[in-house]
């Protein structure tokens, strides 16, 4: 049995660099199947549950597409409305039920730690598809795949994370992973939305230097990978606080004037106003490709966890 067989995916911190390399290499082999050029039945007879207590487009649909491309099935809900959660059913009971209906469970929930809690109620693998402002490990795997595919390596790349570094779960998971992979990190955010101290501690512990800035213009010149995030409106306890920082950053042609030729711009999507539409047409924009990469990467992960070789 590989180290992936039947395992939970709760935090990116549970993945060693070797684990990450395995997922990325497996994902590359999945691409012809992900685009429908080749066929696979490796997950035939397997069922994946997708329980989404928060909105999602890409994450849920790419998990479902990944399952279908490998001959498996997916079932689930895209909002707690219309489920017994409305009647007061606890997460624990829902998980116990769904365990009986499927081989693995993908969970997105507004509370930090929800996936870890869910994993305590089932023997089946639980995959964290976002727990509040906590983590989003499978997004990180596809983000890493995108960097690797576009840039060829991680070591020595200057990666700038910009936007809501406080509430953005994608950047929390990504920062943990990039520290292990030897990139140089730069954090750009409004003063009230800086990276949480525990993540900064982790970066320091690794002995890596990092930069923090408030203005993108200060750091764009030597950035290789610009990872843009949405200000997470739904996480602000006070709507007035959101209004103060809404629209803090906008990547447009003016900002990109001093950018390196080989700069890539990533975004987990959805974007609101933080990347101007005219940027889509530049060579820098890889965010739609990044969204496609979700399929081969999630195929790789599911195959490693549930497949024959698992």
Look up 29 and say whether it is catalytic. no
Q: Is 58 a catalytic residue?
A: yes
CB closer to ligand NCD out of 4 and 167 = 167
Contact of 208 with 175, CB cutoff 8 Å: no
Interface positions, 170-189, toward ligand NCD (CB under 6 A) = 170
CB of 146 to ligand NCD, least distance (A): 12
7, 26, 46, 58: which one is catalytic? 58
Q: Examine residue 137 and tell whether it contacts ligand NCD (CB under 6 A).
A: no
Q: What are phi and psi of 21, to 5 degrees?
A: -60, -40
E-assigned strand segments in 47-98:
47-52, 73-77
ω into 62 cis (within 30 of 0): no
Q: What SS3 state is found at 154? A: coil
- The active-site residue out of 60, 109, 124, 136 is 136
Q: Closest distance between ligand NCD and the C-beta of residue 54, in Å?
A: 7
163 counts as binding ligand NCD under rule CB under 6 A: no
d(CA 21, CA 23): 5
188 SS3 class: strand
**CB closer to ligand NCD out of 11 and 170:** 170
Three-class DSSP category at 167: coil
Tokens 């089946």, located at residue: 124
Question: Catalytic residue at 87?
Answer: yes
| Residues 44, 101 contacting (CB under 8 angstroms) | no
Q: Which two tokens stand for residue 166?
A: 């406080």
Q: Which residue among 59, 138, 146, 229 is the active-site one?
A: 59
Instruction: Select the residue interacting with ligand NCD from 59, 102, 122, 128 (CB under 6 A).
Output: 59
Q: How many CB atoms lie within 10 A of CB 207?
A: 7
Regarding 269 and contact with ligand NCD (CB under 6 A), the answer is yes
Centre a 10 Å sphere on the Cβ of residue 248 and count the other Cβ atoms it contains: 20
How many chain residues are in contact with ligand NCD, going by CB under 6 A? 10
CB of 156 to ligand NCD, least distance (A): 27
| φ, ψ (nearest 5 deg) of residue 40 | -145, 145
Q: Note whether 109 binds ligand NCD by CB under 6 A.
A: no
Site string for ligand NCD, 218-247 (x = CB under 6 A): ------------x-----------------
Q: Which residues are registered as beta bridge partners of 185? A: 159, 210
Catalytic residue flag (residue 136): yes
Q: Does 169 sit near ligand NCD (CB under 6 A)?
A: yes
One of 60, 69, 136, 298 touching ligand NCD (CB under 6 A):
136
Is residue 25 annotated as part of the catalytic site, yes or no?
Answer: no
N-term to C-term CA, the chain: 6
| SS3 state at 27 | helix
The label of the residue with tokens 């949405």 reads: 230
Shortest Å, Cβ 43 to ligand NCD: 22
Which of 57, 90 has the CB closer to ligand NCD? 57
Could you give the residue numbers annotated as active site? 58-59, 87, 108, 136
Binding site for ligand NCD (CB under 6 A): 58-59, 130, 136, 139, 169-170, 230, 268-269
């Amino acid at each position: 049995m590989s180290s992936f067989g039947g395992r939970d995916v709760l935090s990116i911190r549970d993945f060693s660099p070797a684990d990450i390399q395995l997922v990325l290499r497996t994902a590359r082999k999945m691409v012809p199947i992900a685009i429908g050029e080749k066929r696979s039945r490796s997950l035939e007879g397997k069922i994946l549950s997708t329980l989404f207590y928060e909105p999602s487009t890409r994450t849920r649909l790419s998990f479902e597409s990944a399952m279908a491309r490998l001959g498996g099935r997916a079932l689930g809900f895209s909002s707690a409305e219309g489920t017994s959660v409305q009647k007061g059913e606890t997460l624990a009971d829902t998980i116990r039920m769904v365990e009986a209906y499927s081989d693995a469970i993908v969970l997105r929930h507004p509370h930090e730690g929800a996936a870890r809690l869910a994993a305590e109620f089932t023997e089946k693998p639980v995959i964290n598809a976002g727990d509040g402002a906590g983590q989003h490990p499978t997004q990180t795997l596809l983000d890493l795949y995108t960097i690797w595919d576009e840039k060829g390596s991680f070591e020595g790349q200057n990666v700038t994370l910009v936007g809501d570094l406080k509430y953005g779960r994608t950047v929390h998971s990504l920062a943990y992973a990039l520290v292990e992979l030897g990139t140089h990190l730069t954090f750009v955010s409004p003063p009230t939305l800086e990276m949480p101290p525990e993540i900064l501690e982790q970066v320091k512990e690794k002995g890596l230097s990092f930069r923090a800035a408030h203005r993108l213009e200060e750091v764009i010149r030597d950035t290789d990978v610009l990872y843009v995030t949405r200000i997470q409106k739904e996480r602000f306890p006070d709507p007035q606080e959101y209004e103060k920082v809404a629209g803090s950053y906008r990547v447009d042609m003016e900002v990109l004037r001093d950018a390196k030729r080989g700069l890539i711009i990533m975004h987990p999507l959805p974007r609101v106003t933080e990347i101007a539409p005219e940027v889509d047409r530049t060579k820098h924009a890889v965010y739609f490709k990044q969204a496609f990469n979700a399929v081969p990467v999630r195929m790789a992960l599911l195959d490693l966890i549930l497949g024959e070789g698992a």
